[in-house]
Amino acid sequence: MSQEELRQGGLQQHTEHDMSHATGATSTPQPHLNNSNALGTLLPHPDGYFGADKFYGGAYLPPPLVPIMEAVGAAYLEIKEDPTFLEELTKLRRDFCGRPSPIFHCKNLSAEMGGGAQIYLKREDLNHTGSHKINHCLGEVLLAKKMNKTKVIAETGAGQHGVALATCAALMGLECEIHMGEVDVKKQWANVRRMQVLGATVVVATHGMKTLKEAVDSAFGAYIANPEDMLFCIGSVVGPHPFPMMVRDFQAIVGYEAKKQFAELHSASSSSGRTNPDYLVACVGGGCNSLGLFTAFLEDEDVKLVGVEPAGRGLSKGEGHHSATLTLGKPGVIHGMKCYTLLNEETGEPAAVHSCASGLDYPGVGPQHSFFKDLGRVTYETATDKEVIDAFFKLSRSEGIIPALESAHGLAYAMKLASTLPNDSDATILVNMSGRGDKDLDYVCDMHGDEYGIGKEGVFAGPTTTQHE
């Protein structure tokens, strides 16, 4: 299929009234929830599919859930044009979440890479709860409240989505139930405690690989039992329509802020006259933080968009050693959507996956990312666990910023890219620092501490020292 065929997706679309504010021309913050008309196509079509042939996306649901999801979609389309809702969302983004998040220039890290390229971070790790996840959780919980739901339910991998949803549910007075794989409960125990303190019920998924995919299975099963009273607040741009669209829209604020901020940073200093980054880089599991950053730049052809998947222990090691869905997967149906999927060749079921980052070990990916892979608008690369751990420590020790392991995938590729660009390059690389690494400290230090001078005995070992004569 040609790129031109993929671009042709239909021309009917409701007014995208806030797209004109992408450069921040007005001082009034804009919600930026209308993002479905770009690249000459609809993202997605009204039925939730992407592309001229409507190949990816959709809503593959049991019949009882079809009217439920249609009601969610109708409610979302209604409230995102409701001035009262938009005012409340904008105010809470500022006063509760702490938006806008800043952009930080990693001068020390850039110098260590040895070239002229400069690495910048969009500091989503500074949001309330420590990641980008609160962006869509806030929107989803406000939607649940408007729909008169009494409870929200979701899956979580690394726990950041669970914490963010529990936080927003507490604010809005809703019950909250979070499903989490047993492996991830043990690995991300601090986030489990945060969810419990916030009043959420944590349900442990003990079947299969006991990680993110099983948490989604478990949460979907509980939701199907009582969809009238609760809203399934999916944690990424995955699942049946309207969730890939809705989560993307709530995350798009990241890129619109970044576009305005980067232009302000470079309008006076750029010798080339460029005010956009040359590269945008973000990790991809389900893919919400990357679409959050990319959406505002989709039609800026001079900006290269790079999504970074988990190569884990190495792509060559095969199933169960990586989570590189777009790199090695094939189209299939998982969790109510059609997308690139890692499948077991013998059974045809979703394959076992692995990543050092709990939030990325998922055998599917968002349908919009699947469409972008075929279209060629986004390039998808990979980073191994080893590269990610090295990036984790390099950023921590050069800039004083401890990244989430998920975010460190994007950083690892940005470091690799910066080191390969010419010494006289003035290229700029903006990485979505989608979360902070507090949750990963015990895992990283237990598994890799010895390689970086951290003894198994922890604090009693004291800091590493160099002996001097």
What is the Cα–Cα distance from 10 to 36, expressed in whole angstroms? 11
What is the Cα–Cα distance from 159 to 359, expressed in whole angstroms? 8
Cα separation of the two ends of the chain: 69
335 is catalytic: no
Residue in 32, 45, 97, 132 annotated catalytic:
132
Length, in residues, of the chain:
469
- φ, ψ of residue 345 to 5 degrees: the values are -65, -30
Neighbours of 363 (CB within 10 A): 25
Residue in 32, 45, 97, 106 annotated catalytic:
106
Phi-psi region for residue 458, left (φ > 0), alpha (ψ -120 to 50) or beta?
Answer: left
Q: Are the C-beta atoms of 425 and 278 separated by less than 8 Å? A: no
106 is catalytic: yes
At residue 91, the 3 state secondary structure works out as helix
Residue 11 CB partners (closer than 8 Å, separation 6+): none
How many helices (H) and strands (E) are present in the chain, helices listed first?
A: 17, 16
Neighbours of 18 (CB within 10 A): 17
Q: Would you give the DSSP letter of residue 100?
A: S
Q: What's the one-letter identity of residue 225? A: A
Report, as residue numbers or ranges, the catalytic residues. 106, 132
